[in-house]
Amino acid sequence: MKVSAVIVILGLVGAASALPFGRPNYQNMTAPNPDEMGDNFEGDIKFAADQVISPHTGILDPYWRWEKIGNNPTIPYVFDSAFTATHRAVIVAGMATIQASTCVRFVPRTTERDYITIQSANSGCWSYVGRIRNAQILNLSIQAGCVTKGIATHELIHAVGFFHAQSDVNRDQYVRIKWENVMEGKEHNFEVYTNSYVTDYGEGYDYGSIMHYGPYAFSKNYMPTIEAIYNTGEIMGQRDTATHRAVIVSGMATIQASTCVRFVPRTTERDYITIQSANSGCWSYVGRIRNAQILNLSIQAGCVTKGIATHELIHAVGFFHAQSDVNRDQYVRIKWENVMEGKEHNFEVYTNSYF
């Protein structure tokens, strides 16, 4: 009998459970990102004609998704001749950031019909959302300061098929839009999409997402246009890295891609995982132990990588280490003389009744 497992997660401690607070600290955030200030939709998004005409045809529609090679959505690209080798290296580093925490792959174009042309016209930082067919532009203006790893990553994520984080259907539960500070004629940049158009794939709202506006986006008076309702310690508008949460979710996606296991955000379930970051290393219980159970990924100890997150999540699913297999001595030799004193139990072999 085939058994499907559904694992409920609470998310990173300190996110949705944080207490409401007043005006956030906006020190060191004096200017919007270049990608937030353009004349395109939401500053840096271009729409294909079909997307504009049919407002409910969004990235949920497979038509706008990139074709897969194996299990990997694959995006061919070419560079405009305006970019130097240094510029190209920065942009490729943005691609590597995405590839490190997702199954998406960027490849130099050979003969593919659908591909991205990365150019540097003097029209700011912008991209189409998803695959619009044939050659499509992703613009990173050198003059406008768009060629940074963070902005390149941001625009490439649009090309993959994602909108801005603050357009999420649930955003009003997490941020306040200060309409009185928004530039006239730019109000549409703060629209909320419907569930028929976009999805957060169950990841939940992420203030620190590389796809989130900063607090001063489209401000007419140097006052904030977005205020966080909860103080999670994350910086809105950062363009430096994929967030810790995104890395952990990519670990879940790795497991889901090759098994019947599914991870879902907790609602009211009794048994669930709380993923926390106490300074006690990387560890998990094995299987379901009932009620709330901890899976720890210490940021300080370097546990928040896709590989380590995947490893600990597999423990939570119910698996022990491979070298504890009942038949392991047929395949490996344990060099007991080299093992730390008091750590020998870590190399025990389990019995068939247990493992």
Which member of 36, 42, 155, 203 is catalytic?
Answer: 155
Instruction: Look at residues 67, 191, 69 and name the one whose alpha carbon lies nearest to residue 130.
Output: 67
- Concerning whether 344 is annotated as a catalytic residue, the answer is no
Active site residue 184: no
Q: Say yes or no to pLDDT of 33 above 60.
A: no
What pLDDT score was predicted for residue 47?
45
| Helix, strand, coil share of the chain (percent; to 5) | 25, 20, 55
pLDDT at 320 > cutoff 70: yes
Per-residue pLDDT at 31? 45
88 pLDDT tier (thresholds 50, 70, 90): very high
- At residue 332, what is the residue type? V
Stretch 6-18: mean pLDDT: 38
Would you list which residues are annotated within the binding site? 154, 158, 164, 311, 315, 321
Known binding-site positions for Zn(2+): 154, 158, 164, 311, 315, 321
List, for residues 195-235, the tens digit of each pLDDT value.
Answer: 655 565 666 677 777 777 888 888 888 899 999 888 766 77
Q: How confident is the model at residue 250 (pLDDT cuts 50, 70, 90)?
A: confident
Question: Active-site residue among 36, 42, 203, 312?
Answer: 312
User: 274 is written with which tokens?
Assistant: 């709380």
DSSP readout, 103-142? S-EEEE-SS-SSEEEEE--SS-EEEESS--SSEEEEEE-T
- Residue-range domains of the chain with CATH: 34-160 (3.40.390.10)
Average pLDDT, integer, range 31-57: 43
Q: Which residue has the higher pLDDT, 76 or 250?
A: 76
